[in-house]
Structure 1
Amino acid sequence: MDLTTTAYGTWSAGRFMHFGETLSEERFLSCIATAWDAGIRTYVTADVYGNGKADELLGQALADKSRDEYCLVGMVGHDFYEGQRQGAKGYPRFTDPELHQSSHYRDYLRKACEKSLERCRTDRFDLLMLHNPDETGYTSTAVWDGLRALKAEGLSERLGLAPGPANGFSLDIIDCIEKFGADIDWAMLILNPLEPWPSCHVLPVCEQHGVKVLTRVADYGGLFHGDMKKGHQFKPGDHRSYRAEGWVDHGLEKIEKMKPIAEKHGLSLIQFASIWNLSQPAVQSVVPTFIQEAGEGARQIEEQIKDFAATPDIRLSAEESETVRQIGDNTGCMMLKGASKRHSISERPDEWPMREDLLELAGRHGLGDNW
């Protein structure tokens, strides 16, 4: 089963990423049940979330469902089996030379895939994605040989690329698709009406190479769920509190300008954001973050899920889509991760020096040299 247009990710509900209230295990399971009852049939998990706990809970929630009735998307890439957590940096990638040499990549990927499948209570993924790769993950033939072997062995029907955890990696993604596109069925990109950049550079390449796109953060930190108001106060430790000051008020002002198009089509805000994403080339699926906001009067997370699941099968016109893009244009609003001229050495697994071959690639795609 290939991915459906609506998807549910196990990073929702605050248990494995700190957004809003941290829901109990029972409520976490209830959210997945709500998604199922509302008609969502694609579920996305990553082995590193809770060191496998998200996999286990998803497997528990779907245990009584026929395996042929849902699409299961897994992600592997962080080695929490042998690697040590490095504070806010998280666990190292399995391609860290202190953990594994290239000759061991295939064995690690098989082990990680099989353990994740066991926790999910199934024998195959419909899509397995390389999660938050470092520079080696984007460029190593040994990595993609290992992933291809998993597909050949029937452990996954499809393969994909899931960059992150922050935004960027545009040149790295394009280079990876040009090198290994024959093996890449899907890519997961950050995209929403308030963040058309930088994924706008990657979408045409995905379309050209037949790579389907699953978009995350369609909710833009919760703004498109419609529950946050100007001056919103975040709980201590909430990931969103680390964004630039004023981002909530600034985003809400732009959303007000977009509302006439949403209202014209009878769409809620999260439906509107999802439809805008799906109106872009190559985008075939959307997986927002569902957040139980703190404080009295906050809408229940289950209502967010139902709202998203009811997204109608329509698309915006090219003119409407471009109008929204212009309102939400965020070009240059942040430092991007991945290859950059800012770095002379690689000090973090998500940032590395720019290479001449990537600048040549940028030139071929008309992306300039300001990286």
Structure 2
Amino acid sequence: MVDLGHAALGAWGGGRFMHFGRPLDEEEVVELLRPDDRLRTVITADVYGAGDADRVVGRAIAGRPRDEVRLVGAIGHDFYDGERQGAKGFPRFTSPALRGPEGYADYLRRACEASLERCGTDRFDLLLLHNPDRIGYTSEAVWEGLVALRDEGLTGGLGIAPGPANGFTLDVLTCLDRFGDEIDWAMLILGPAEPWPGRLALEACVQHDVRVLTRVTDYGGAFWGDLTPQTPMGEWDHRRFRPDGWIERAGRLLREVATIGAARGLTPMQVAAQWTLAQPAVACVVPTLIEELPAPEGVEAPAPRPILEKRAELAALPREQRLTTAELDRITQLGDNSGCMALKGASPVFEGDEQPDGWGIGTPQLEAARRWGIDPDRELVKTH
């Protein structure tokens, strides 16, 4: 199984493709994503910028020996034949409007080879199925197509990356139970401010020998310390969809985490990362690197931190665990977010026609819930 290191860089950072904070220009993104001896892994997704992120990542890794870089790709949204659906983005390649199961393998090969060409390399170290719909989690044709790419050397390993929003717990469990022998990594939303529902899938990852890399460990940038309620957010900033009061909640947790970190020589972001790395199966964190927009003139707020300063802080994350068991438990208690939001994927409260990011619970999901001791009606619903 490929070693990604304990921290990695994601092409969604820097605001150029995912609209977080100040959008960096291309040269700045290249510098941000350039791997080195401490941050060797770079993660891209072909749909970001409809291929443009791959090209930028290719520039970032160019000139460095390939065996010194860990390159992770992600495919799943069809921007070749599909039409963008506004804020929902491009459709999944498994959409019945685009193709049936007989076309899945050809699409996966086409998308993988095109992404590799843009990245300027001949193989991924890890290839993720990006934001699958229900079909992606359950289709043998999808996973046979992915396995073929691995067996032919286009990737060293395979994984799954649920999203884009929080949830998909039963779907991940169902996928692991059916295809876990072929899956090396799972990318989950997980951090001290959002332990739920991601932690519900960790035991299954342990049992299936699947490693976890986590995104949004920074909780929308809050753990970097320069996000306040006064921080402006652009029209397409995804954080605008978070519930009211989330920044204030983050601030209360940040103060507690800062106190713990000060005693251990860790920044709040590094505490968040070490808490996450202490969870079962978690082996790598990929926080979002954001350079916040400055507050309006006359509004008192901390100045935005330069994004390369945040990168340096991530690179300095100690590999050895410095937090005590009591401190880890204290952070878990403080950050508990159980029942705070409606979840995506298979849901006991879903109604209506199946959507690309939401559907009702079927027999496979119910069986997975029973196997892993989860009560969907109690543990996978919004309660407050």
TM-score by length of 1: 0.96
SS in 2 for 1:18: coil
Give the aligned residue type for 2:326.
E
Residue 93 of structure 1: aligned partner: 92
Query: What RMSD in Å do the two structures reach over aligned CA positions?
Result: 1.4
Cα displacement string for residues 261-288 of structure 1 (whole angstroms, at most 9, x for unaligned residues)? 2122110111111111111110000111
**Structure-2 separation of matches of 1:57 and 1:226:** 28
Aligned equivalent of 1:366, options 357, 370, 373: 373
- Once the two structures are TM-superposed, the CA of residue 186 in structure 1 deviates from its matched residue by 0.2
- Once the two structures are TM-superposed, the CA of residue 356 in structure 1 deviates from its matched residue by 3.1
Contact kept, 8 Å, 1:277 with 1:283, in 2: the verdict is yes
- Once the two structures are TM-superposed, the CA of residue 323 in structure 1 deviates from its matched residue by 1.4
Cα displacement string for residues 148-186 of structure 1 (whole angstroms, at most 9, x for unaligned residues)? 000000000000000000000001101100110000000
Residue 272 of structure 1: aligned partner: 271
Q: Which residues in structure 2 correspond to 1:251-330 (within 5 Å)? A: 251-295=250-294, 297-315=303-321, 316-330=323-337
Return structure 1 stretches of 4+ with deviation > 6 angstroms.
none
Residue 8 of structure 2: aligned partner: 7
Aligned length: 369
**Structure-2 separation of matches of 1:24 and 1:273:** 28
Contact kept, 8 Å, 1:230 with 1:252, in 2: the verdict is no
- Once the two structures are TM-superposed, the CA of residue 347 in structure 1 deviates from its matched residue by 4.1
Residue 41 of structure 2: aligned partner: 42
Residue 360 of structure 2: aligned partner: 353
Contact kept, 8 Å, 1:158 with 1:185, in 2: the verdict is yes
SS in 1 for 2:223: helix
Residue 171 of structure 1: aligned partner: 170
- Once the two structures are TM-superposed, the CA of residue 114 in structure 1 deviates from its matched residue by 0.3
Residue 342 of structure 1: aligned partner: 349
Contact kept, 8 Å, 1:192 with 1:218, in 2: the verdict is yes
Cα displacement string for residues 265-321 of structure 1 (whole angstroms, at most 9, x for unaligned residues)? 110111111111111110000111001101162110000000011001122333322
- Once the two structures are TM-superposed, the CA of residue 37 in structure 1 deviates from its matched residue by 4.6
SS in 2 for 1:13: coil
Give the aligned residue type for 1:336.
L
Q: 1:126 to 1:339 in 2, by over 3 A?
A: same
SS in 1 for 2:127: strand
- Once the two structures are TM-superposed, the CA of residue 348 in structure 1 deviates from its matched residue by 2.2
Greater Cα shift, 243-252 or 223-232: 223-232
SS in 2 for 1:12: coil
Residue 195 of structure 1: aligned partner: 194
* Percent identity for Structure 1 against Structure 2: 51
**Structure-2 separation of matches of 1:216 and 1:279:** 15
SS in 2 for 1:151: helix
- Once the two structures are TM-superposed, the CA of residue 245 in structure 1 deviates from its matched residue by 1.1
Contact kept, 8 Å, 1:215 with 1:287, in 2: the verdict is yes
Give the aligned residue type for 1:76.
I
Contact kept, 8 Å, 2:231 with 2:293, in 1: the verdict is no
Contact kept, 8 Å, 1:55 with 1:119, in 2: the verdict is yes
SS in 1 for 2:116: helix
Q: Which residues in structure 2 correspond to 1:135-150 (within 5 Å)? A: 135-150=134-149
Contact kept, 8 Å, 1:80 with 1:91, in 2: the verdict is yes
- Once the two structures are TM-superposed, the CA of residue 38 in structure 1 deviates from its matched residue by 6.9
**Structure-1 separation of matches of 2:232 and 2:11:** 24
**Structure-2 separation of matches of 1:116 and 1:95:** 18
**Structure-1 separation of matches of 2:37 and 2:122:** 26
Give the aligned residue type for 2:360.
P
**Structure-2 separation of matches of 1:288 and 1:184:** 22
Greater Cα shift, 354-363 or 209-218: 354-363
- Once the two structures are TM-superposed, the CA of residue 365 in structure 1 deviates from its matched residue by 2.0
Q: Which residues in structure 2 correspond to 1:99-138 (within 5 Å)? A: 99-138=98-137
**Structure-1 separation of matches of 2:374 and 2:356:** 24
Give the aligned residue type for 1:2.
D
**Structure-1 separation of matches of 2:193 and 2:267:** 16
Contact kept, 8 Å, 1:45 with 1:73, in 2: the verdict is yes
- Once the two structures are TM-superposed, the CA of residue 322 in structure 1 deviates from its matched residue by 1.7
Greater Cα shift, 324-333 or 233-242: 233-242
Contact kept, 8 Å, 1:363 with 1:369, in 2: the verdict is no
